[in-house]
Amino acid sequence: MKAKRQVYNHRIKQAISRTGNIHLFPELNIPQTTAKNWLHRGVGSVVTNTAFDLDREALELKCFELEERVKSLQARLSLLRFVSVTMGLSVQYQRFTAQQLASHYQRFESAARRSKKVFL
């Protein structure tokens, strides 16, 4: 029979690794060898989202804001498609330098800001 492998929260691992104290959470009964491994090997990176720390109302508000942003971007994309088809434009592959990309991005952002005034 296999022994059950205990999984610990990344915040616990980081706290022990950062402080160097393997007895930081005695109530969890973390084996010394496990805690020492976190000290010697370090803790792997963890991708997390600050939205997890929000309460229900804040999460609902954040969802609403993101849904509105998606609707706005979809409207812009639809307009862009309509204009490009109406004008007979087609997309071609072309490589840009970093400086050219920055210039194009700035122009796009200013056009998007202007369109936001019109569509909202």
Alpha helix locations (H) across 42-89? Answer: 56-86
Cα–Cα dist 43/19, whole Å: 13
- Taking residues 81-101, what's their average pLDDT? 83
65 and 102 fall within a common domain: yes
Counting the structural domains of the chain, the total is: 2
34 and 77 fall within a common domain: no
60 and 109 fall within a common domain: yes
Model confidence at 69, pLDDT cuts 50, 70, 90, reads very high
DSSP assigned state of 50: G
Judged against a pLDDT cut of 90, whether residue 65 lies above it is answered with yes
DSSP assigned state of 91: -
Expressed as residue numbers, the domain containing 37 is 1-48
Q: What is the mean pLDDT of the chain?
A: 83
83 and 112 fall within a common domain: yes
For 16-32, how does the pLDDT look when each residue is reduced to its tens digit (9 = 90+)? Answer: 988 989 898 889 999 99
Alpha helix locations (H) across the chain? Answer: 10-19, 32-41, 56-86, 98-119
112 and 56 fall within a common domain: yes
- Taking residues 74-92, what's their average pLDDT? 86
- Taking residues 73-90, what's their average pLDDT? 87
Q: Length of the chain in residues, anyone?
A: 120
63 and 96 fall within a common domain: yes
85 and 31 fall within a common domain: no
The reported pLDDT for the residue numbered 100 is 86
Please report how many Cα atoms fall inside a 13 Å half-sphere around the Cα of residue 30, on the Cβ side: 20
The reported pLDDT for the residue numbered 52 is 66
43 and 59 fall within a common domain: no
44 and 55 fall within a common domain: no
- Which element (helix H / strand E) includes 93? none
Look at residues 9, 2, 1 and name the one whose alpha carbon lies nearest to residue 30: 9
